[in-house]
Amino acid sequence: MELTVYLAGQIHDDWREDVKRLAKEKDLPLHFVGPQTVHDRSDNVGEAILGEQPSGYFKDDAASAINNLRTEVLMKKSDVVIALFGEKYKQWNTAMDASAAVTLGKPLIIVRPEELIHPLKELSNKANVTVETIEQALDVLAYIYE
Amino acid sequence: MELTVYLAGQIHDDWREDVKRLAKEKDLPLHFVGPQTVHDRSDNVGEAILGEQPSGYFKDDAASAINNLRTEVLMKKSDVVIALFGEKYKQWNTAMDASAAVTLGKPLIIVRPEELIHPLKELSNKANVTVETIEQALDVLAYIYE
Amino acid sequence: MELTVYLAGQIHDDWREDVKRLAKEKDLPLHFVGPQTVHDRSDNVGEAILGEQPSGYFKDDAASAINNLRTEVLMKKSDVVIALFGEKYKQWNTAMDASAAVTLGKPLIIVRPEELIHPLKELSNKANVTVETIEQALDVLAYIYE
Amino acid sequence: MELTVYLAGQIHDDWREDVKRLAKEKDLPLHFVGPQTVHDRSDNVGEAILGEQPSGYFKDDAASAINNLRTEVLMKKSDVVIALFGEKYKQWNTAMDASAAVTLGKPLIIVRPEELIHPLKELSNKANVTVETIEQALDVLAYIYE
Amino acid sequence: MELTVYLAGQIHDDWREDVKRLAKEKDLPLHFVGPQTVHDRSDNVGEAILGEQPSGYFKDDAASAINNLRTEVLMKKSDVVIALFGEKYKQWNTAMDASAAVTLGKPLIIVRPEELIHPLKELSNKANVTVETIEQALDVLAYIYE
Amino acid sequence: MELTVYLAGQIHDDWREDVKRLAKEKDLPLHFVGPQTVHDRSDNVGEAILGEQPSGYFKDDAASAINNLRTEVLMKKSDVVIALFGEKYKQWNTAMDASAAVTLGKPLIIVRPEELIHPLKELSNKANVTVETIEQALDVLAYIYE
Amino acid sequence: MELTVYLAGQIHDDWREDVKRLAKEKDLPLHFVGPQTVHDRSDNVGEAILGEQPSGYFKDDAASAINNLRTEVLMKKSDVVIALFGEKYKQWNTAMDASAAVTLGKPLIIVRPEELIHPLKELSNKANVTVETIEQALDVLAYIYE
Amino acid sequence: MELTVYLAGQIHDDWREDVKRLAKEKDLPLHFVGPQTVHDRSDNVGEAILGEQPSGYFKDDAASAINNLRTEVLMKKSDVVIALFGEKYKQWNTAMDASAAVTLGKPLIIVRPEELIHPLKELSNKANVTVETIEQALDVLAYIYE
């Protein structure tokens, strides 16, 4: 039974590649989807498609509309969501995606460092499982196939 | 027609009192609910009710469970949600509540300063209306009654 | 048993007053809600609350966000929706509200002149009842209380 | 990951063929569905299957019932909806389909010329993304696969 | 706690008056709603409001549209549905209302004579409780208040 | 695009075979499912699996539980429902299945002879399309593929 | 803001009276509902209303149908559910009610002694909050009003 | 048509192997999923993935979070749920899974020995079918394919 996993979270490093590599090593039949991970492309996609916008605000709004459409299409196709929070960024859209997953009934695994326990406590309490490393998240997914 | 409004967002200042005062000045039949706003009480409620927990992590988890129950009960009673983001805090639970509101079909107004346009762009795009001041949020609510 | 009725449709004449007068004459316990009916206010509300926008497009987008929030709040409070189409205007937002009503499971009565039978045929087929006059729409509502 | 796209909108020209050609050129794994595009067949299908009807009104009602069944079956199979509005026609059924898509949680892309900004403003505000050309709509879909 | 009870079923005798009398005798805080019970009015309401129709088929369709709107509005307001089947009539609309109640999550009590056990077995199996007399149906409702 | 069609209705003749034959002749990619059509097996399945029951009433209840489970599993897999009513039988379970289909959002085609127009008028009004022959029902399904 | 609280759980002692007394002492605007607490009445209600049944199995089935209808009506009216598990009984219907509450989106508080931590661990993990005493459950409810 | 069946219930013996063997003998196209059946692994999975926990309570909570995630993912993929209750254990999580299945609209078959009729009566009344042996449960599934 193949499962589709949406990888929400920061796009400033390549943690998604680590996830995919681990899944391959464990030979798990997982199919991964997620947001646009080229940061510039993600920020500029609104103007790239719709043309120049009157200001930064409208440039952001145009980009986010297209990013949200992508997320909505792909998350609805998913069976599980992993949301990763790092220490550096505010990542409110990660919190938004994680909360949407819970409200839509998609099982949610949060990955976050120990330092973020306190600010993420309410979201963590809503998630099915909260872990600290990508390896642990994959262990949870692997458990489904045992 | 009375409407119930859930006030999500930071609990570090008394912006909710400003909202209530403005609603009163405008003579709007609004009933406001929201999270526990005494910060210490919010952080400690888990241990206060369930007793001492083994560590900070479990103290946080206990508190957040009770905070989330409160939010869930009150948000389900609400007709509209206002979520306020300030510049200082990460406020991932505000993003969580705002996203849950959208997914549950509760109309959402976001209040955020200009500085947060970029990091909040995806959430802002999902909201019904995004404004910069509490006065504007109340103007939107007042418009429902015109 | 009081019912709340959302009156979707054109805001270029005062048909809603006729509806209310007829309901009063028939002594029906109906409570009516609907969109902003002062046309200028409806078109300008975005800039009035959010400030000047960069162009007509963004002025329209700001206004429609606030108009949609109003509609969403009030339609969710409603038990029945009446959507009136006149001959002059395109009124795509009326079609939008009528279709949203059907999809949300709100019973829908369409009022439209004979001339619009053909272009409205698919929407009319989705409505519970389609009539040609406001009097007939009120007759349908009165029937609920017989 | 193949996606199914419902193409709502006018059936008076062959814009759907342009969409399909562009998708092929971009090598996107998209599967397109939509309404009956032979206009006469769409208008006459009620009488063709159910026999002669007593008047134009009933001929229209019979046709729209069968057109609506087709739309309902195919839209439920879809992952995304594109709704195109042209300048000439009232196309209330396009607005109906677009609004149904939003209410059913199907991501929606609207294509409309600049001239229609004002009358479509509320519907456009509800859509995920609004563009002016078919090329832009395909760019948005292509972005999902980047 | 007052409950609203929809009384689906035949309109050829005055069983609804018996239900109301029994509820009064037992002093139960129940509010009853139901279909139009004047048989001629129910059959003719389509033409009475919409004008003469081309044939019996269209007269029936017009009446049923208005009867269904009434049922939809009132059943959505209800907490419990009682559906009574008698020996004489086919009453497919009673079966339709009972099934809609179950699918909408409205608790359902069926009242039917012993003779109808076999033809009603699938519907009876879907109901919460099936009884043979109006007195028993009221006993079930009274039990909620014990 | 293959569609699954649930064939609700009487099991006293072999109309389902006619449906399948016509679909094959038209070369439509339809997959048909439906209730148990061997009448004795349908009536006796409760005792066959669960053992002898205390009376006819409990024998019927046991059979209907298993018949309803079958219907529920298969209808949820379906994209469209065809419900056929004949002149001879009460077929309340057909009305139940048809109404469940509508409430679950499954498009519904009713097939019924002219004689049943009046008693089926409310259910017919709720269906997407009502026809008189199996050929017409297949024409409607074929139209989806044009 | 008054809240309705469903009190699921054992009916072998009078813990519900303790809950009500504590709520009164704390002056909380809570309205409590729950199952039939007279054990014999709960076990015998099926035969009391429907008449003698063929065996213990059918007596139990008749009683449970009426008990489930009561629970369904009252739980749908509730804003929060408290489920209490004691050490003595299997109380599978309490687990059933608690799980139904979670799945229906009703916030859930479980009360259970320390001895039951292990067998209740999955259900406890699904609840919003798990406590050991009635006093703690009331503290959680009181927190909503702070 | 392949169906996926979730096998809820005790993990203390190998009844699931009997189910699979019987399905194979009957040549039924069924795909079975279920919980972790290695008891120690199920109890220890929390600490195995998340590391040592402060006490038995937190060890149990960590394990149940991961077990519940597995159940949630797999039950959502299922078309039917079989829940088996044995005489020895409390198995509240089985009751929880069975109740979640019913509330989610998944058809449910309960298998339980005669001795458990009374304590399981409310849950049994909510199930589609209740049987006493695994063979009977498979007979019910086989009936879907007749």
The verdict on residue A28 lying in a domain is yes
Supply the pLDDT for residue C42: 95
Of residues G67, G85, G117, nearest to H57 (C-beta): G117
CA distance F119 to C84: 32
The two three-digit tokens of residue E109, written as one number: 């009590």
Per-residue pLDDT reduced to its tens digit, D110-128? 999 999 999 999 999 999 9
Supply the pLDDT for residue C47: 97
Supply the ipTM of this predicted assembly. Answer: 0.93
Check pLDDT > 80 for residue H89: no
Which residues lie across from A131 on neighbouring strands? A111
CA distance H139 to B95: 50
Per-residue pLDDT reduced to its tens digit, E32-80? 999 999 999 999 999 999 999 999 999 999 999 999 999 999 999 999 9
The verdict on residue F80 lying in a domain is yes
Which residues lie across from A19 on neighbouring strands? none
Q: Looking up tokens 């040592």, which residue turns up? A: H52
CA distance G13 to G19: 12
Vertex A117 angle, CA A113 and A123, to 5°: 105
Per-residue pLDDT reduced to its tens digit, C91-117? 899 999 999 999 999 999 999 999 999
Of residues G56, G96, G121, nearest to H95 (C-beta): G96
The verdict on residue H62 lying in a domain is no
Domain total in chain F: 1
Q: How far apart are the first and last CA of chain F?
A: 12
Supply the pLDDT for residue F84: 97
Nearest Cα residue to D83 out of D36, D29, D124, D28: D124
- The arithmetic mean of pLDDT across residues C124-143, rounded, is 97
Assign D37 a pLDDT band (cuts: 50, 70, 90): very high
Nearest Cα residue to H55 out of B64, B53, A121: B53
Element (H, E) at D68: helix D56-76
Supply the pLDDT for residue B90: 79
Supply the pLDDT for residue B4: 98
Per-residue pLDDT reduced to its tens digit, A47-106? 999 999 999 999 999 999 999 999 999 999 999 999 999 988 778 999 999 999 999 999
From chain G, pick out residues whose CB is under 8 angstroms from the CB of E140.
49, 66, 69
Chains touching G, CB cut-off 8 Å, 3+ pairs: B, E, F, H
Minimal CA separation from A81 to chain C, in Å:
28
Query: Which of A24-33, G66-75, G87-96 shows the lowest mean pLDDT across its residues?
Result: G87-96
- The arithmetic mean of pLDDT across residues H56-78, rounded, is 96
- The arithmetic mean of pLDDT across residues H117-139, rounded, is 96
Chains touching C, CB cut-off 8 Å, 3+ pairs: A, B, D, E
Q: How many CB pairs under 8 A join A and H?
A: 42
Nearest Cα residue to E62 out of C103, D64, C81, F124: F124
Round the CA-based radius of gyration of chain B to a whole number and report it: 16
Q: How far apart are the first and last CA of chain B?
A: 12
| CB count in 10 Å sphere of residue A69 | 22
The verdict on residue D54 lying in a domain is no
The residue of chain E with its CA nearest to that of G104 is E105
Residue pair A104/B103 in contact (Cβ under 8 Å)? The answer is: yes
Per-residue pLDDT reduced to its tens digit, F34-91? 999 999 999 999 999 999 999 999 999 999 999 999 999 999 999 999 999 998 877 8
From chain F, pick out residues whose CB is under 8 angstroms from the CB of E93.
95, 121-123
**Which of G57, G75, G96, G97 to mutate to test binding with chain H, by most H CBs within 10 Å of its CB?**
G96
Is F32 within 8 Å of chain G by CB?
no
Q: Looking up tokens 């400030």, which residue turns up? A: C51
Minimal CA separation from H24 to chain A, in Å:
19
Inter-chain touch G92–H119, beta carbons under 8 Å:
yes
Check pLDDT > 80 for residue A16: yes
The verdict on residue H31 lying in a domain is yes
Check pLDDT > 80 for residue G84: yes
From chain G, pick out residues whose CB is under 8 angstroms from the CB of H98.
96, 99
The verdict on residue A21 lying in a domain is yes
The verdict on residue A58 lying in a domain is no
* Domain of residue C116, residue span: 3-35+76-144
Check pLDDT > 80 for residue D89: no
The two three-digit tokens of residue B58, written as one number: 């479990």
The residue of chain F with its CA nearest to that of G55 is F54
Q: How many CB pairs under 8 A join D and F?
A: 42
The CATH number of the domain holding residue F110 is 3.40.50.450
Minimal CA separation from D15 to chain C, in Å:
20
Q: Looking up tokens 């006093």, which residue turns up? A: G135
Supply the pLDDT for residue D122: 95
Is D142 within 8 Å of chain A by CB?
no
Check pLDDT > 90 for residue G5: yes
Q: What are the residue ranges in chain B where pLDDT is below 70? A: none
Residue pair F67/E122 in contact (Cβ under 8 Å)? The answer is: yes
Supply the pLDDT for residue E12: 79
**Which of B49, B58, B68 to mutate to test binding with chain G, by most G CBs within 10 Å of its CB?**
B49
SS (H, E, C) chain H: CCEEEEEEECCCCCHHHHHHHHHHHCCCCEEEECCCCCHHHHHHHHHHHHCCCCCHHHHHHHHHHHHHHHHHHHHHCCCEEEEECCCCCCCHHHHHHHHHHHHCCCCEEEECCHHHCCCCHHHHHHCCEEECCHHHHHHHHHHHCC
Residue pair D110/D98 in contact (Cβ under 8 Å)? The answer is: yes
From chain G, pick out residues whose CB is under 8 angstroms from the CB of F55.
54
Supply the pLDDT for residue B12: 79
Is E144 within 8 Å of chain C by CB?
no
Nearest Cα residue to G5 out of G25, G28, G26, G27: G28
Assign G110 a pLDDT band (cuts: 50, 70, 90): very high
The verdict on residue G48 lying in a domain is no
- C53 phi and psi, to 5 degrees? -110, 160
From chain G, pick out residues whose CB is under 8 angstroms from the CB of E101.
none
Check pLDDT > 80 for residue G41: yes
Residue pair B129/C65 in contact (Cβ under 8 Å)? The answer is: yes
Inter-chain touch C49–B109, beta carbons under 8 Å:
no
Of residues F71, F95, F118, nearest to E60 (C-beta): F118
CA distance B34 to B120: 21
Per-residue pLDDT reduced to its tens digit, C45-74? 999 999 999 999 999 999 999 999 999 999
From chain E, pick out residues whose CB is under 8 angstroms from the CB of D55.
54
Of residues E64, E103, E118, nearest to F122 (C-beta): E64
Assign A11 a pLDDT band (cuts: 50, 70, 90): confident
Assign H12 a pLDDT band (cuts: 50, 70, 90): confident
E-only strand ranges, B34-107: 80-84
Residue pair G93/G72 in contact (Cβ under 8 Å)? The answer is: no
CA distance G101 to G108: 7
- The arithmetic mean of pLDDT across residues G115-120, rounded, is 94
Supply the pLDDT for residue C11: 84
Check pLDDT > 80 for residue F116: yes
Is B3 within 8 Å of chain C by CB?
yes
Residue pair E108/E125 in contact (Cβ under 8 Å)? The answer is: no
Nearest Cα residue to B62 out of B79, B74, B47, B41: B47
How are beta strands C129-131 and D3-9 bridged, if at all? unpaired
Inter-chain touch B55–H54, beta carbons under 8 Å:
yes
